[in-house]
Amino acid sequence: MKFKKVILANWANIPNQEYDLSDLVFLTGETGVGKSTMLDAIQTLMTANKKGIVLYNAGQDEAQNKKRNKEYRTIQGYFAGEDRFKFSRPNGCRSTIVLSFQNSINEEKYEFSALITGVVSFEESKGEKRPILDSLKFFIIKSHEILQEDLIDENKQLLNHKELYKNLSLKYDKDNVIHCQDKSDYLNTLYGNLWGKNRTTSLLADKAARAFSNFIHARPVDNINAFVRNEFLSSKDMKDEVNALSSTIRSLDKLKKDAKEIEDSINILESLENKTNVIVRKWHSLGEEHFIYNHYEVLKVENKMIQDEKKYEKIRREIVRLENKEKKLDLDSVNFNEKLLELEIAKNSNDKIKELNDIEKKLQDTKKAFNIGTSNVIRIISNIENISRDTASIFLYREKFENLTRLLNELKIVLDEFIFTILLSGNARTLREK
């Protein structure tokens, strides 16, 4: 990986803009133009201003007048625009610096950006104003190159860290914007991405940051032996190396154990694979047998269904035949009922004829008796007429036989009516017989 550009906003007295960094960069200019200040901005981004690692470059005047153990340049001084104990932003401010990276030749294409933003204010001590660092926030933006316009709002003012995080998350996807918890977290993430990983250890990250700080920090070498002793043979570094070596040895032992466990696991897996293959083959064999058996059962069921269908068809035809027979029987029953009715009617008719014959016989007997009665009546009437003639002489003497005459006259009227009725009944019967 290599630098692509740096963005400075309220960093010392350098103009706020993007500075493109190519493969070879020369910083030239007179004393005080900001060469060391530019390098310190890059160093801040590469060391997170971590104490014991960062080594800000002193200006020429500061180097000549530097007192022992006195720190002339600080990050809060850069934020406040300090220059010879004067400040270009005396009321405090927010500052933001960004360093973008891109892949080198023969590396997989990849880019990301590192961002630090902070706020300074001022306090007075012994009549002098001194800048105080109020906050410092760290971000890593993966897979994207940050632009200067991403750092400011509509009024060209720098965004605070919350607004900045929200803006970057919306533009570059929240998963690509990493808000680091502290300086160590920032360095672990920064150098992890530089080495093609997501993170690295604090030991390796601090060592890399210290190496970069030593590389970029300009200072004369008075004694080569002292330089080697201080830079390469320091007790702290040796201790770190020993600890790192011990950690590596422990890691190797653990790796050996893990490798043995993996090898045993592989052997177990191979054994399981062989057993599984046997089971699978057996399962396939049983599956084939099961399929053949089920197929045979299906054929049996299908054959039974065909036989049942034939039986059903036979039964259906028998039902149709019986239904037709039932219809025929119903028709025969109707005809039989009709004939039975006719016979009943005929029987009733025969009974009427017999009854009429009996009536006719009774009528003959009655007629015979009537004729006899009529003859007797006629005979009686003749006798009555004879009597009437005999009694006619009586009417010649009405005065003497008045009551008797009256009775006889009434008797005659009654007999006439009786004779008329009998004659009338005889004439009616004769007409009915005809």
User: Which of 63-67, 146-150, 241-245, 412-416 comes out lowest in average pLDDT?
Assistant: 63-67
218 and 137 in contact (C-beta within 8 Å)?
A: no
Q: To which residue do tokens 């530097």 refer?
A: 66
Supply 189's token pair.
């993430």
Strand partners, 129: 124
Q: Are 6 and 41 in contact (CB under 8 A)?
A: yes
The C-alpha angle with vertex 45 and arms to 141 and 108, in degrees rounded to 5, equals 50
- Given a cut of 90, is residue 384 above it in pLDDT? no
Tally of helices (H runs) and strands (E runs) in the chain? 9, 8
Q: Say whether pLDDT at 206 is over 70.
A: yes
Judge whether residue 416 has pLDDT over 50.
Answer: yes
* Contact assessment for residue 93 and residue 119, using Cβ atoms and an 8 Å cutoff: yes
Q: Which of 148, 155, 153, 119 is nearest to 136 (CA)?
A: 119
Asked if 181 and 188 touch (Cβ cutoff 8 Å), the reply is no
Q: What is the pLDDT of residues 247-276, one digit of tens each?
A: 778 888 888 888 989 989 999 999 999 999
| Residue 299 clears pLDDT 60, i.e. is over it | yes
pLDDT of residue 229: 62
Q: At what angle are helices 235-395 and 202-216 packed, to 10 degrees?
A: 130
315-323: average pLDDT: 90
Q: Which two tokens stand for residue 343?
A: 């016979």
Q: Which residues pair with 2 in a beta bridge?
A: 102
Neighbours of 412 (CB within 10 A): 15
Tell me the pTM. Answer: 0.52
Q: How far apart are CA 238 and CA 246, in angstroms?
A: 12
Residue with tokens 């002793």: 229
Looking up tokens 């002292």, which residue turns up?
A: 226
109-118, 213-222, 356-365, 423-432: segment of lowest average pLDDT: 423-432
> Is the per-residue pLDDT at 34 higher than 80?
yes
Residue 223 has pLDDT above 70, yes or no: no
Split at pLDDT 50, 70, 90, the class of 432 is: very low
Q: What number is the average pLDDT over the span 393-413? A: 64
Tell me the average pLDDT across 280-305. Answer: 90
- What per-residue confidence (pLDDT) applies to 144? 92
The whole-number average pLDDT for the span 121-134 is 88
68 falls in which pLDDT band (50, 70, 90)?
Answer: very low
Average pLDDT, the chain: 82
pLDDT reading at 410 higher than 80? no
Q: Residue 63: is its pLDDT beyond 60?
A: no
Q: Mean pLDDT check: name the lowest of 250-259, 342-351, 396-405.
A: 396-405
The tokens describing 307, both together, are: 């036989």
Q: What is the pLDDT of residue 400?
A: 55
In the DSSP assignment, the letter for residue 150 is G
Q: What is the pLDDT of residue 428?
A: 47
Mean pLDDT, residues 307-320 taken together: 89
- The arithmetic mean of pLDDT across residues 177-200, rounded, is 94
Q: What are phi and psi of 222, to 5 degrees?
A: -80, -35
Q: With a cut of 90, say whether residue 64 has pLDDT above it.
A: no
| Domain layout of the chain by residue ranges | 2-219
pLDDT at 96 over 60: yes
Residue 69 banded pLDDT, cuts 50, 70, 90: very low
Banded pLDDT at 431 (limits 50, 70, 90): very low
Q: Which tokens go with 419? A: 């004779």
Cα 37 to Cα 51: distance, rounded to the nearest angstrom: 18
**Confidence check: pLDDT of 399 > 50:** yes
The Cα 393–Cα 153 span in angstroms is 176
**Which residue do the tokens 């970057």 mark?**
168
HEC sequence for 27-89: CCCCCCCCHHHHHHHHHHHHHCCCCCCCCCCCCHHHHHHCCCCCCCCCHHHHHHCEECCEECC
CA angle 39, 44, 50 (to 5 degrees): 140
